[in-house]
Structure 1
Amino acid sequence: MRLVTCLLFALLALPATGWSASDVRLSKGQTVYVPVYSNVFSGPRSLPFQLAATLSIRNTDMDSWLRIASIDYYDTSGKLLRRYRDMPLSLAPLASTYVHIEEKDVTGGFGANFIVKWQADRTINTPIIECVMIGATSGQGISFVSPGQPIRPGVR
């Protein structure tokens, strides 16, 4: 009985959320690579399934603003297609912004990506930067999310 009681107390002491304070990511800025799948192949390779893509940037810090310095869109071969920021965009605590690529826009191809650069005046919770892809045709739909990955900044 004593063993069962000890195990019960040990289980109750574990965090209910499944994460610890060491899992919280903090930074003053990052360069983030976000995969974009503007099409996927669900049948014969010659018939890709076109998808709309929405890049979502969410400031997860409850106290501090962040600045989005740049949002660049690259195609499968790594060629810069579009720059979405002429000037930095400030995001308030818990605020969000997005960039939408229409389903009919096939310029990015299967291996398209966004490079997002953000900065903050002090160390803050890192934002959630991800791309949501969705498409529907002939009664069939598909949707999924592609998370961003911090990378070492380049010299481009």
Structure 2
Amino acid sequence: MLPLIRSGVLLAVFLATLTSLRPSGAQAASGDGLSKGQLVYVPVYSHVYYGDRERMILLTAILSIRNTDVRHAITVVKADYYDSEGKLIRRYLSQPVTLKPMASTRFVVKESDTCGGSGANFLVEWQAETEVDEPIMEGVMIGAAVQQGISFTSRGKAIRKH
């Protein structure tokens, strides 16, 4: 039991460190915070490892997309899920989704779906008719094992601006 508790403590410290290392206020490459569209990379994890034997904790991964503009809608045109090897696993959108000002949407990768691996990610493409405040895109991971719950987030990074 003691090694398991020690592993749990180490996992908690690792996750706290991981969360604190993310950049605050992640803006697009230009840094101005306004855009007509972007391609955004969002890391997610279908599981994490802990302990000397690399035991897995399965996670539910949620892609959260939030329109932060108070006046204009944005349209999400692509939300594609990739595995650790960069292989496309699933396209979450069959048609574009419009988010009204201050609206949000989410896409869920179930805890039982482990095909993404610990290096899974989403590529999200969005666009707007005029320059808008850039949306916030985050991965939210939640899991529980051996009477311990864990949760952490990851922030999206714009890799191309329209």
TM-score (norm 2): 0.78
Matches within 5 A, 1:6-85: 25-85=33-93
CA distance in 2, matches of 1:78, 1:99: 19
2:106 to 86, 90, 98: 98
CA deviation digits over 1:62-82, x for unaligned, max 9?
A: 000000010000000000000
Residue in structure 2 matched with residue 6 of structure 1 by the alignment: none
The aligned length equals 133
Matched, 1:146 2:154: yes
Q: CA RMSD in A?
A: 1.7
Task: Name the % identity.
Answer: 52
CA distance in 1, matches of 2:32, 2:63: 22
Residue in structure 2 matched with residue 118 of structure 1 by the alignment: 126
User: Following superposition, which runs of at least 4 residues in structure 1 exceed 2 angstroms of deviation?
Assistant: none
Query: 1:104 is aligned with what amino acid?
Result: S
Any idea what SS the aligned residue of 1:110 has? coil
Any idea what SS the aligned residue of 2:116 has? coil
- Gaps of at least 5 residues in structure 1 are 1-18
Give 1:152 deviation, angstroms.
Answer: 2.7
Give 1:44 deviation, angstroms.
Answer: 3.4
CA distance in 2, matches of 1:125, 1:56: 16
CA deviation digits over 1:13-65, x for unaligned, max 9?
A: xxxxxx9xxx7611000000000111111113442111111000000000000
**Residues 24, 125 of structure 1: 8 Å contact kept:** no
CA distance in 1, matches of 2:128, 2:78: 13
Query: 1:50 is aligned with what amino acid?
Result: L
